Chain A
Amino acid sequence: MSTDFYWRIGMEGDHASLRTPRRYNRGHAGGHGPGNIAPAIRGGRLDGYSYIDHMAAVVKASESAGFVGGLLPSFPVTEDPWATASALARESDTYRFMVAFQPGFLHPLQAARMSASLQRATGGRLVYNIISGGGGAPQLWWGDKVAHDDRYARTSEFLDVLRGVWDGRPFDYDGRFFKAEGAALPPLLTGQPFPEVYFSGSSGAAVDAAGRHSDYYLSWLEPFDDLRAKFDGVRARSEKSGRTPKFAVRIDIVARHTEEAAWAELEKGWASVDRAAADRAAQGDSVGAARIKGWVPEHITGYRDLEVQPNVWCGFSLIRGGPAFGLVGSYEQIAERLDQLIDLGVDAFILAGNPHLEEAYRVGEEVLPLLRRTTPTRVRTRSTR
């Protein structure tokens, strides 16, 4: 058995480590202080590199370390994944670009054309992470007034049209959100593989939409029993449409040679957490975000209180942007947890760690070889360098 392991790219910038919460010193978000990388300061001025140059390095590291590709997340504060994938398409060999996007912002025919061109530019290495938006103020910031459940209806329509035009035969559609008459990809762009779909969303409306359209149902990490229940729910809802979904999990990892060393990595970062500010950051109508809040204990005496089951820690969102849950432990422990997740039904992983470049090598070299239930999918390289 082989399993697809992806590695995330930090699209807002990156941290040198989790010891310095929210201090971005890779890319432009940290304000170009001393010790900044891409751009760095040389001879008293910025050296002309930009964060794309570091992202390119993370792409190469992920390829070398044995990952099939990476997730390029999308938020109002991050670089755009379509633009990043287009820029890096031609300087990567095997890396699959998992582009996160909200279907409301591009017309589906436009998305189909961009996707087919990206498939041609990469030799078929585009993967979708379809997100339907967290709602609240960010949604209006994007210029999107469509309400929560309607957003998933729109996502469904979007994917209907995207698939409908893909084979190049004229396609008509008369939906609530999208209409098309004789829409089709041109001959030049047809014949490309349709990108695999990783579908995110925790609500009933999301799961219904996912059942019809996804190859993988993608969830953030949760306590294992909750994750099992969530997957069962998706399976039950998907039966209606006759599809058997596969499951993927997005997991932050702090893995070290001993468990003590792994926890020590979080200790300093925890000490400077501003909890009030972190609470305010969780807004909107995202059901996934609300689920996470329910697990955080009200009175916390120390960071180990957030270890909700062995090696499963829900404090990540307090020390950097993004999901709350991740795995903390020794290389052996992390491998064991990943094996347990495979037993639980996980078919693919999106892993992440800060800093992304160095941690890609660490997890690729120290953790993945210890897996017993599976081997990571190996991609044949196009050329040897």
Chain B
Amino acid sequence: MTEFRWELPVRGDGRHIGSVSAHRNGFDFLDQVVLAAELSGLDGVVAPYDPEGEESWVVAGSALRQTRHLRVGVEFHPAFGTPVYAAKLSATLQRLSNGRLDWRLRVETDAADAAARGDRVSGADRYRRAAEFLTVARGVWNEEQVLPGRFGGTGFEFAGEYYDVVDGGFRGILSGLPFPIVHLAGNSREAIELSAGHGDVHVFDETADGADDAVASLRDAASRSGRTVRAGLALPVIARETEAEAWARVLRQWREVYPGAADAEVRALALDGSRWSGFGRIGYTRSIGLVGSYEQVAHALSDYRTRGIEIFELTGHPHIEELHRAGEHLLHLVDPAGRTLVGQENQA
């Protein structure tokens, strides 16, 4: 099954580029977005680590409690605290959500954000620390039920460069739960190696050259480690009933930022297929995404799927409207097997 996830707008949202409406920020609004994702049939949401936005663990905890089906990814940085504490927080979230928590460990962050936390770890060391973090978190976690023993661990020992644990390990109500599915991201060699050794899903950003080479290198690296890592792709999407409507939407948004811009200037950023490389200039965090009719965008997504992408992390704003659009018009075209009733198909 192809999975569709959506990145939550933790800074708020509005109808216009860069605007945050008074009606669309804070938790009353986030509750609505989470509900929109749940009811529209998305498979998951991601609470991004955003130093300017709502804190991701709080957003994720609240989202898990308010939903039945969505997987909820919490993105956080290894320097947020200790791996044992991340695991402890996660055991409760797994218990209360019936195992729907994912982790997205953020390794790269900007210099100001690192300095604010007094974090001096840089370069390739950041990946070594992330690997230790995941080793310790998985090490204290026991997916099998272990009987409670007051204040005793299950013998996990770790003396690393960054973390130390003596007789660690979860028992009692902290055990017998699935470890969160670990999502990692980044197109660099170090990022891919980290996923090969420690990740379950690796989410790429689209590049002008496409994702094929990156997906292939992930497969190679993972198989050398004897592991399987699913490939994901993060894509902003503007899909409408017709291609013309989709481009009209793009142009309206573009002209909010660049008044008087010519159509040709905007169209010049189109790549092959339905890909367009202007998203970064109209308020999205990624530059390349998809523009077109529902059929065209679905076709492009299906094409990625045949080339090995199993998870799509979509985004579009205003979020509530775009989530409904995705659920009503897009997802079932990409993944008909998973999103139509088999019985009805047979009758037809």
Contact = CB atoms under 8 A, between A and B. Distances in A.
Nearest to B166: A140
Interface in A59-103: 76-80, 82-91
B65 A88 contact: yes
B210 interface: no
Contact of B65 (A12, A87, A180): A87
B62 A27 contact: no
B115 A114 contact: no
Contact of A116 (B12, B55, B173, B174): B55
Given A29-B173, A141-B166, A180-B118, A86 B61 contact: yes
Interface in B115-148: 115-118, 136, 148
A52 interface: yes
Interface in A81-136: 82-91, 104-107, 109-110, 113-114, 116-118, 120-121, 136
Contacts of B58: 82, 86, 89, 114, 117-118, 121
A186 B51 contact: yes
Contacts of A105: 81-82, 84-85
Nearest to A83: B92
Nearest to B65: A87
Contact of B53 (A76, A144, A186, A283): A186
Interface in A249-283: 281, 283
Contacts of A107: 79-81, 117
B64 to A, nearest CB: 7
A79 B90 CA distance: 10
- Most chain-A CB neighbours within 10 Å: which of B12, B58, B167, B172? B58
A87 B64 contact: yes
A35 interface: no
A304 to B, nearest CB: 27
A52 B139 CA distance: 26
Interface centre among B11, B88, B116 (most CB of A within 10 A): B116
Interface string B180-218: 000000000000000000000000000000000000000
Most central of A80, A105, A138 by chain B CB within 10 Å: A80
Contacts of A82: 57-58, 61, 89
Contacts of A378: none
Contact of B62 (A89, A113, A137, A183): A89
Contacts of B83: 143
A86 B60 contact: yes
A183 B93 CA distance: 28
A181 B118 contact: yes
Contacts of B93: 83, 87
A372 interface: no
B130 to A, nearest CB: 16
B291 interface: no
A242 interface: no
A21 interface: no
A3 to B, nearest CB: 29
Contacts of A1: none
Contact of A145 (B65, B81, B164): B164
A178 interface: yes
Contact of B168 (A109, A120, A141, A186): A141
Contacts of A183: 115-118
Contact of B84 (A52, A79, A143): A143
B308 interface: no
A281 B84 contact: no
A48 interface: yes
A76 B112 contact: no
Given A107-B79, A113-B55, A143-B82, A182 B116 contact: yes
A173 B53 CA distance: 23
A189 interface: yes
A13 B92 CA distance: 12
A50 interface: yes
B102 to A, nearest CB: 15
A179 interface: yes
Nearest to A29: B173
Interface string B98-119: 1000000000000010011110
A84 B92 contact: yes
A116 to B, nearest CB: 7
Nearest to A161: B118
B12 A188 contact: yes
Given A86-B57, A107-B81, A141-B167, A79 B95 contact: yes
A77 B171 contact: yes
B34 to A, nearest CB: 10
B27 interface: yes
Contact of B173 (A12, A86, A141, A188): A12
B14 interface: no
Contact of B165 (A12, A13, A141, A187): A141
A87 B84 contact: no
Contacts of B151: 76-77, 136-138, 141, 281, 283
A51 interface: yes
B336 interface: no
Interface string A180-202: 11111011110000000000000
Contact of A137 (B98, B152, B164): B152
B165 A189 contact: no
Interface in A319-367: 321
Contacts of B169: 141
A334 B26 CA distance: 43
19 contacts: A29-B172, A82-B61, A83-B93, A84-B92, A86-B57, A90-B62, A104-B82, A105-B84, A105-B85, A107-B81, A110-B55, A110-B81, A113-B55, A180-B118, A184-B116, A188-B11, A188-B25, A281-B151, A283-B151
Interface of A: 12-13, 27-29, 48, 50-52, 76-80, 82-91, 104-107, 109-110, 113-114, 116-118, 120-121, 136-138, 140-145, 165, 173, 178-184, 186-189, 281, 283, 321
Given A50-B96, A188-B11, 16 more contacts: A28-B173, A51-B173, A79-B91, A84-B96, A87-B65, A90-B27, A107-B80, A109-B116, A114-B58, A117-B54, A118-B58, A120-B27, A142-B165, A143-B165, A180-B115, A183-B115
Q: Report, nearest first, the 5 A-B pairs whose CB atoms are least far apart.
A: A86-B61, A179-B118, A140-B166, A52-B96, A183-B116
